[in-house]
Amino acid sequence: MVTSTLRLDIVSAEQAIFSGEVKRVLVTGQMGELGIFPGHLPLITAIKPGEILALLPNEEEDVFYVNGGMLEIQPYVVTILADTIIRASDLDEAAAIEAKQIAEQRLTSKGTEVDFARASVELAEAMAQIRIIQKLRKRVK
């Protein structure tokens, strides 16, 4: 079966966020950036907090933020599972900046009990959200 699109399903713990045909998907896997086109070889990998970019058949882009999760690729089906997935247009820049500042403060505080692993994850998630918001702002200009 040769087609110019593949099916993309993006699912969070609460709901299905996106399900439809796309021309390609860009996502950050555990080992780096992945560009997924129709006919891609099968793969299962963890994904890092960051952007999911889906190119729709009409050439428009749909952008999402994911806090990490799992990616399964079949030649014509891509499934992304994560706890948190948000449409990039719904991200709150002020909240992301505040979360980044709080995580940085927790990481630099001395003499207190700090869960460095958790604070590091929170910092990475906030920074990923801020990067996506900045990218979207540049695309609009």
pLDDT in tens, 33-60: 999 999 999 999 999 888 899 999 999 9
Per-residue pLDDT at 41: 94
Whether the per-residue pLDDT at 140 is higher than 60: the answer is no
Q: Which residues of 94-122 are buried (b: 16+ CB within 10 A; e: fewer)?
A: eebeebbeebeebeeeeeeeeeeeebeeb
Query: Measuring CA to CA, how many Å separate 29 from each of 41, 48, 69, 72, 74?
Result: 15, 6, 9, 11, 15
In the chain, residues under CATH classification 2.60.15.10 are 6-88
Q: Would you tell me which CATH number, out of the four given (2.40.50.140, 3.30.1220.10, 1.20.5.440, 1.10.3660.10), belongs to the domain 91-140?
A: 1.20.5.440
**What confidence tens digit (pLDDT) does each residue in 94-111 have?**
777 787 887 888 777 765
Q: Would you tell me which CATH number, out of the four given (2.60.15.10, 2.70.70.10, 3.30.70.2190, 2.40.10.340), belongs to the domain 6-88?
A: 2.60.15.10
Amino acid (one-letter) located at 77: V
Per-residue pLDDT at 38: 96
Backbone angles phi, psi at 58, to 5 degrees: -85, 10
Tell me what the pLDDT averaged over the chain comes to.
Answer: 84
In the chain, residues under CATH classification 1.20.5.440 are 91-140
Per-residue pLDDT at 111: 57
Per-residue pLDDT at 119: 77
Contact between 29 and 47 under an 8 Å Cβ cutoff? The reply is: yes
Say what the pTM is: 0.71
